[in-house]
């Protein structure tokens, strides 16, 4: 079968590999795809972030449907996160539009934020158990009122971070939610975080589209590979130990993040 001329097979292959890793680990979509687009394909950082945000919105919509059917979404947590992230996402996009004339400056800021976000994601992945144990011993379980406001604050932070870098909604968000809700099943934490990522990435992605930072030809090429990749990764996830995948993924993110920050 002939491949349509607008489909880039190398970008589709990248989408397949990243999609498979997301299916295997549950995180790493923006953390892997955005730096790949910037460092390998030479895509401008703003365009890479904007395209990846819509890419994430499509893929995580599918994840939300699955978690919704399995009743592993805590809609209260999702709502609290969104009440913080949606306003800060809008403010961040407005700030980017204000400085839209200086593309070099914006590209430099996004690259730096992306680099630090990748390093934070790597830390959250690699030391999640230690982080959770530390907060459990030091602070115990947060009180309900404080938990509510901290969840909103987390959403606010993720709104800025994801809008600038497309990274953070996965590993960082899940790690903090595990600290705030230690008694909640992990499946509900993951499901709630994925459900929150849909409006967050969609609004941020539409904002970048308004700014002209979305490459729809690139988006199609990525989705052609990522959708079957996610399906395959999810299918074989149980066959590969998490203790093997997590350090490899964390090390990769740390190296890439260090290169972007440097």
Map out the domains of the chain as residue ranges: 11-214+228-261
- Average pLDDT along the chain: 81
209 contact partners, CB below 8 Å, separation of at least 6: 50, 54
CA–CA dist 7, 5 (Å, integer): 6
Tokens 């901290």 correspond to what residue?
Answer: 150
Number of alpha carbons in the 13 Å side-chain half-sphere of residue 243: 1
CA–CA dist 85, 203 (Å, integer): 10
Among 99-103, 181-185, 218-222, the least confident range: 99-103
**38-76, pLDDT tens digit by residue?**
888 999 888 998 998 998 888 788 778 877 887 888 999
**6-24, pLDDT tens digit by residue?**
688 899 999 888 878 776 6
Average pLDDT over residues 199-215: 91
What's the whole-model pTM score?
Answer: 0.79
**153-184, pLDDT tens digit by residue?**
999 999 998 888 877 777 778 888 888 888 88
Average pLDDT over residues 204-218: 91
Tokens 């904002």 correspond to what residue?
Answer: 207
Closest CA to 77 of 210, 174, 193: 193
Average pLDDT over residues 225-247: 72
């Amino acid at each position: 079968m002939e491949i349509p001329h607008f489909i880039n097979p190398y970008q589709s292959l990248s989408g397949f590999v990243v999609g498979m890793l997301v299916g295997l680990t549950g995180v790493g979509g923006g953390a892997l795809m955005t730096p790949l687009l910037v460092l390998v394909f030479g895509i401008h950082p703003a365009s890479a972030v904007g395209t990846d945000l819509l890419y994430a919105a499509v893929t995580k919509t599918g994840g939300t449907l699955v978690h919704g059917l399995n009743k592993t979404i805590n809609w209260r947590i999702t709502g609290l996160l969104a009440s913080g992230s949606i306003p800060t996402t809008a403010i961040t996009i407005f700030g980017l539009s204000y400085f839209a004339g200086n593309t070099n400056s914006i590209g430099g800021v996004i690259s730096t934020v992306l680099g630090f976000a990748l390093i934070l994601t790597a830390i959250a992945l690699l030391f999640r158990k230690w982080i959770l144990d530390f907060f459990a011993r030091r602070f115990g379980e947060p009180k309900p009122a404080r938990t509510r406001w901290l969840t909103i604050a987390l959403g606010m932070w993720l709104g800025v971070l994801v809008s600038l870098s497309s990274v953070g909604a996965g590993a960082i968000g899940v790690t903090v939610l595990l600290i705030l809700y230690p008694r909640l099943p992990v499946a509900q934490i993951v499901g709630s975080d994925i459900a929150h990522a849909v409006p967050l990435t969609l609004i941020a992605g539409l904002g970048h589209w308004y700014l002209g930072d979305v490459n729809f030809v690139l988006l199609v090429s990525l989705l052609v590979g990522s959708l079957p990749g996610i399906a395959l990764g999810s299918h074989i996830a149980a066959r590969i130990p998490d203790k093997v995948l997590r350090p490899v993924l964390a090390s990769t993110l740390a190296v890439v993040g260090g290169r972007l920050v440097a």
